[in-house]
Structure 1
Amino acid sequence: MTDAETIGRLLAALGAEDPQGWAESEVEENLPQLARYRLLRALSQDIEAWDTASVASLRDRSMAGEARATDPVAEAAWIARAVARETVFGVLYRLADPDSDALPTALRQQMPGWVLMETTPAGELTHRVLDALHEDLDTLDSPAEAPRSKTVAEGWIRETNLRAFCESLAAEVAYDFDDSDWLAIDTALPHTDDEQPPSAWYIYPLVGRTRLDLHVARSVGGSEVSVSVQGTVSSRSRIRVELLLDVMARYAVAPD
């Protein structure tokens, strides 16, 4: 991409304060300024996402241990580590998936991306990509300190909302949920019973930029479906899934 006018237009669409200055730098200095701005913009959004709800969610989880609940310094230290971990997770997530910034399709198709690549000790590229590092971050956590539970959200929704819930959940991990996915869930659902242990519920994987496992079971004699969402996601995604679950329980969703 060498056209300063085109680059400037794309930077302006991303909200850059001096799009033409960035664009001229890319062309004249051969620097990937559009890609740099796109990544920095996404990371800045992650910082801004640390609102009251996000911090409260972490604090609620920190109260699970008596020592943290009774020792303000220990609790503060736990929350600080949790925030640091969520931040690292977010950076690795952005590096692995440039399109996680959810730009409109027409704009995204014009944007450069990036990869994190290995080098030799001499600094030469091996052309081996360090991909999806965020998925392995949990393996380095000690069980006592891991801030992210495998349970993302659980509860119940109206059975008539189940497909809409599945499609919205799939969109959260960029999984293309289609008729064949729905057929599998719809066929299995009548044979489930939410009075059975969750391990006996029907499980359907949604594998996109990360993996979520959807556990579902019908309320026999009722019009509800019990759901449990398991996986590894950021705090921001967890809050969105919890909100989605609440909406699907409270309201009847009509197809477009």
Structure 2
Amino acid sequence: MTDVEMLGRLFAALGADDVPGWVASEVEEGIPQLARYRLLRALAQDVRDWDAAAVAAVRDEIASAGGHAAVGVEDIARAVARETTFSVLYRLADPDGDDLPVELRRQLPGWALVETVSAGEVTGRVLGGLYEDLGVVLDAAVGAGRSGTVAAGWIWGTNLRPFCESLAAEVGYDFDDSDWPAVETALVGTDDELPLSDWYVYPLVGRRHRVDLHVAQSVGGGEVSVSVQGAVDGPTRSRVALLLDVMAPCRMIASE
């Protein structure tokens, strides 16, 4: 298969219209159209996801953060701008965060946002993870909602990993086998009788929200105290609280 044929197949797999036109531009003009199309496709999906439910979630988020009782157009516009900016920064940081099959992703180009000097020369340093610090800058610049307690309580230690995985799913974070050892190892030296600032903190920076998971074990017991801190919308806050309530009285047993 020639390079032109391969490009055509990949553009078609992404659902592009006018595949010959995209291919010709990449081959003849040297423009990285496949990478451009992949990024634009991901951003278009984010725009498409803004439906009535998403708008309602934004209203709930504003209200839970102490917004006006009657949410105005300015509040909605600022919230949408914040969510859109977060989405764009997340896509820039994670080319593989789209819905494409793994085998297709392996054949596609990605991208990186890099630093340049005043003359435009690339320094080689990548501006990675900008979405992680967006909230901090927004707080200082426009007075965005401050973080607070989303939910707090206790669960059995055997439930901690399922809780982490479920919480991560709520905020749009992919919690996997590389995350759990960090939490499991750090938990050993904690004590829930100490102030919250002395508990172990694991950030979950997801596609929808960022939360900080504070955990500490009950010395001499099987319980783990949990506090989830962050700025989330109303429905997410309710689901996280329900998740904590459900896992508190139950002991989950891992399958063999």
Give the alignment's TM-score, normalised by structure 2.
0.70
Query: Matched residues in 2 for 1:239 and 1:7: separation?
Result: 42
Runs of 5+ in structure 1 lacking a partner? none
**Residues 25 and 85 of structure 1, relative CA distance in 2, 3 Å threshold:** same
Query: Matched residues in 2 for 1:27 and 1:183: separation?
Result: 50
Q: What is the aligned partner in structure 1 of residue 213 from structure 2?
A: 214
Query: Matched residues in 2 for 1:242 and 1:3: separation?
Result: 51
User: For residues 32-71 of structure 1, what are the structure 2 equivalents within 5 Å?
Assistant: 32-63=32-63, 68-69=68-69
**Residues 44 and 179 of structure 1, relative CA distance in 2, 3 Å threshold:** closer
Q: What is the aligned partner in structure 1 of residue 185 from structure 2?
A: 184
Runs of 4+ in structure 1 over 6 Å off: 207-211, 238-242, 251-254
CA shift, 1:203, in A, is 1.9
RMSD value over aligned CA atoms? 4.3
Query: Matched residues in 2 for 1:29 and 1:144: separation?
Result: 41
User: For residues 134-153 of structure 1, what are the structure 2 equivalents within 5 Å?
Assistant: 134-142=131-139, 145-151=142-148, 153=150
User: For residues 92-131 of structure 1, what are the structure 2 equivalents within 5 Å?
Assistant: 92-101=89-98, 103-131=100-128
**Residues 28 and 207 of structure 1, relative CA distance in 2, 3 Å threshold:** same
Bigger Cα displacement from structure 2, 112-121 vs 75-84: 112-121
SS for the counterpart of 2:107 is coil
**Residues 68 and 231 of structure 1, relative CA distance in 2, 3 Å threshold:** closer
Give the alignment's TM-score, normalised by structure 1.
0.70
SS for the counterpart of 2:96 is helix
Tell me the percent identity: 48
SS for the counterpart of 2:69 is helix
Query: Matched residues in 1 for 2:255 and 2:235: separation?
Result: 24
Q: Which has the higher contact order (CA 8 A, sep 6+)?
A: 2
Query: Matched residues in 2 for 1:199 and 1:42: separation?
Result: 38
The total of aligned residue pairs comes to 245
Query: Matched residues in 2 for 1:179 and 1:138: separation?
Result: 25
Q: Residue by residue, what CA displacement relative to the aligned partner does 1:21-79 show, whole Å, maximum 9, x if unpaired?
A: 42343223322111111111111122122233332232223336888225x5xx32122
- Say whether the 8 Å CA contact 2:188–2:217 is kept in structure 1: no
**Residues 118 and 177 of structure 1, relative CA distance in 2, 3 Å threshold:** closer
